[in-house]
Structure 1
Amino acid sequence: MIRLSEINIYPVKSLAGISLQQGQLDEFGLAGDRRWMVVKPNGHFITQRTRAQMALIQPSLDDNGLRLQHPELGECCVPPATVDSKRIEVKVWDDLVEAWHIDHEVDNWLSRAVGEACHLVWFPSDALRQCDLSYAQQGDRVGFADGFPLLLISAASLDDLNQRLAEPVPMKRFRPNLVVSGCDAFAEDTWREIQIGDSGFRVVKPCSRCVITTVDPETGKRTGAEPLMTLSRYRKEGSKVMFGQNLVHDDRGLLTIGDSLEVIF
């Protein structure tokens, strides 16, 4: 039987993630996932692609909101965005979104942690960022994730990769929202519609991987060409290396570790 074995959210795009026992689905994916983003003063997003050290900033969520922890700078408490927050236009890939700027003190702390001047912004609930209509449906929304609400990888797919590597890598390198166990390696490539617990999902597109997979999340440093080099030998489609599947959710249910996964087709 295929079961859900990990649930992860990444509150701030490209910072460290948080593992959960339960995750609530909302209009953008898992609640709290990539609702914040780090941007340059011109509004363009910043990620580990250019600032690998972002992996060292650990977010946490509690009743008081978002907190950021850095091994050298300590803790930063992030005030909530409000309707009075300044709205600024930000760019995620080719998409322009009107986001809410958080706070200049947070910007100062984050600029030191990231290594360049930056702002922290919030994706408001009334913002509309349409998923790519080549794969999704009209009305499918996404927050600050790269393109789709959720990313799923099977544990067996990582096991297959690690058998080919001189040094195995953890699942954290690939930043999935959902990890499933109990299926064959890359079985997820063949799925088109699945149900996890009481929630339905469309499997819309393989995930193309980038240099973020070469960043060690424990050190915030690049480790070389792996695992991209090995993946490129057997997971290449055209010029892109694929690992994991992007999902769009059709329900807003509660996901719990141990939930069964049913392949509809």
Structure 2
Amino acid sequence: MPQLTDLRIHPVKSFAAVPVEQAEVEPWGLAGDRRWMLVDGAGTMVSQREDPRLARLAATLADPDTLVVSSGDDTLKVGTPDGPLLRVKLFDQAFEAVDAGDEAARWFSELLGGTLRLVYLDEAARRPTETPTSLADAYPLLLTTPASLAALNELIAADHPDDPVKGAAVPMNRFRPNVVVDGADAWAETGWRRVRIGEVEFRVVQQCGRCVMTTLDQETGARRGPEPLRALGRHRKFAKTLAFGMHLAPAGRLGTLRLGDRVTVLEEGPLPTPE
């Protein structure tokens, strides 16, 4: 029987993942997941795509209203802001988020260089998405499975039979999932349309299109070559999407996810066409 074996939140978009034993499910994702984001001087999102060093920044929630960010011996504490709204842009979406203030802006600008500001999404309705979503790229949650990762790593190894470095296995953290479900067959999740994890039901929206962030070492921020994108392009390409993992959205009653929760497939069907 499939079960939830890993649960992760990312308090600041594109910063290091935080493993948790349980998490409340809100209509727009897991509580504490991707409610904060760095933007540049033009208000445009800054992610690991632009600055791989973000992978090394640890952000945690000391309590629901206090964000703590650490870099080496330097620490920043920021309370949930109630300041002015700032016009920001996440990919092609423009909306307003709450500015976290000048102290946070100075801290990040001095640490990383350039002009940076930290913003907070206080209401999902501020972001114009069909499915309520925090500051995640597309949908509230991302689900992956170890069986599919093992199958992908077999494909990577087979594509590089004479080069153990290029054919090295890719760890799960490259894909930055929220929920990891063990006990399912490889790629089974691509046929799931509706699932229950513990007490919470989700609709499975679509496959997740992968980008250059999957080539970054999440411990160091270093680029590690073309994998897994090369293998996904060769073996798991759907339309223009290099797919790994499934986007989820809460469906119906909310609740709490806990490690060890049973995962029940409620509905299966044809694979949605990636956007």
Return the alpha-carbon distance in structure 2 between the equivalents of residues 17 and 31 of structure 1: 14
Q: Which stretches in structure 2 are left out of the alignment for 5+ residues?
A: 157-166, 268-275
Q: Report the CA distance between 1:78 and its aligned residue.
A: 1.6
Count of aligned positions: 255
Report the equivalent of 1:57: 57
Report the equivalent of 2:211: 210
**Can you list the C-alpha shifts for 1:102-143, whole angstroms capped at 9, x where unaligned?**
0211112112333331100000126333434xxxxxxx3011
Q: Would the aligned equivalents of 1:128 and 1:141 in 2 still touch at CA under 8 Å?
A: no
Q: Which amino acid aligns with 2:91?
A: W
The question of 1:163 aligning with 2:154 is answered yes
Determine which of 78, 86, 96 is the counterpart of 2:84: 86
TM-score (norm 2): 0.89
Q: Would the aligned equivalents of 2:28 and 2:124 in 1 still touch at CA under 8 Å?
A: no
TM-score (norm 1): 0.92
Return the alpha-carbon distance in structure 2 between the equivalents of residues 162 and 126 of structure 1: 36
Query: In the TM superposition, what are the counterparts of 1:1-265 in structure 2 within 5 Å?
Result: 1-63=1-63, 65-71=66-72, 74-82=74-82, 85-125=83-123, 127-132=125-130, 140-165=131-156, 166-250=167-251, 251-265=253-267
- Residue range with higher mean Cα deviation, 158-167 or 227-236: 158-167
Q: Would the aligned equivalents of 2:87 and 2:96 in 1 still touch at CA under 8 Å?
A: yes
Percent of aligned pairs with the same residue? 40
Q: Would the aligned equivalents of 2:133 and 2:140 in 1 still touch at CA under 8 Å?
A: yes
Q: Would the aligned equivalents of 1:29 and 1:149 in 2 still touch at CA under 8 Å?
A: yes
Q: Would the aligned equivalents of 1:97 and 1:127 in 2 still touch at CA under 8 Å?
A: no
Report the equivalent of 2:162: none
Q: Would the aligned equivalents of 2:96 and 2:127 in 1 still touch at CA under 8 Å?
A: no
Q: Report the CA distance between 1:50 and its aligned residue.
A: 1.3
User: For the structure 1 residues 115 and 230, does the alpha-carbon distance in structure 2 shift closer, same or farther, using more than 3 Å as the test?
Assistant: farther
Q: Would the aligned equivalents of 1:130 and 1:142 in 2 still touch at CA under 8 Å?
A: no
**Can you list the C-alpha shifts for 1:128-161, whole angstroms capped at 9, x where unaligned?**
33434xxxxxxx3011111100000111111111
Return the alpha-carbon distance in structure 1 between the equivalents of residues 2 and 113 of structure 2: 42
Q: Which stretches in structure 1 are left out of the alignment for 5+ residues?
A: 133-139
Q: Which amino acid aligns with 1:263?
A: V
- Residue range with higher mean Cα deviation, 113-122 or 145-154: 113-122
Q: Which amino acid aligns with 1:253?
A: G
Q: Report the CA distance between 1:220 and its aligned residue.
A: 1.0
Q: Which amino acid aligns with 1:148?
A: Y
Return the alpha-carbon distance in structure 2 between the equivalents of residues 212 and 239 of structure 1: 17
SS in 2 for 1:107: helix
Return the alpha-carbon distance in structure 1 between the equivalents of residues 175 and 33 of structure 2: 15
